[in-house]
Structure 1
């Protein structure tokens, strides 16, 4: 099954959040829905640490989603 991992990131000074595609089965052949659900938090922490925009403490991961199939990103949304 094709899986997409989405992080919902929020800036500390705003109530607006953004969805960011973290990875998908197309980019990581070992990714499954089960591995996303079980190991997602550890992978997201590493991804955030290495991301050029979101690595600062001003951004936090509010939640993440393991989405079956191809996910279309939402530009901004309020929490």
Structure 2
């Protein structure tokens, strides 16, 4: 219980300290001469494509559930390959 009370007191002290400190009024730094956010024609974006190489067919087994002639469930498994 003492640790919880100490934690709340520390959080309250930090919260009050941030409100009491004056806000920084420094202006935003201007970019250096020649450095701008305009993209340069010599710089191109790199396009990365993800390639997946599969060796042979990729097969999964699916369960097919259907109703039989008297209403019972018939479960069959079938392989699907791509």
**For the superposition of Structure 1 and Structure 2, which TM-score range results when normalised by the shorter chain?**
under 0.3
User: Which fold has the larger relative contact order, with Cα–Cα distance below 8 Å and residues 6 or more apart in sequence?
Assistant: 1
TM-score w.r.t. length of structure 2: 0.18
Q: Which is strand-richer, 1 or 2?
A: 1
**TM-score normalized by the length of structure 1:** 0.18
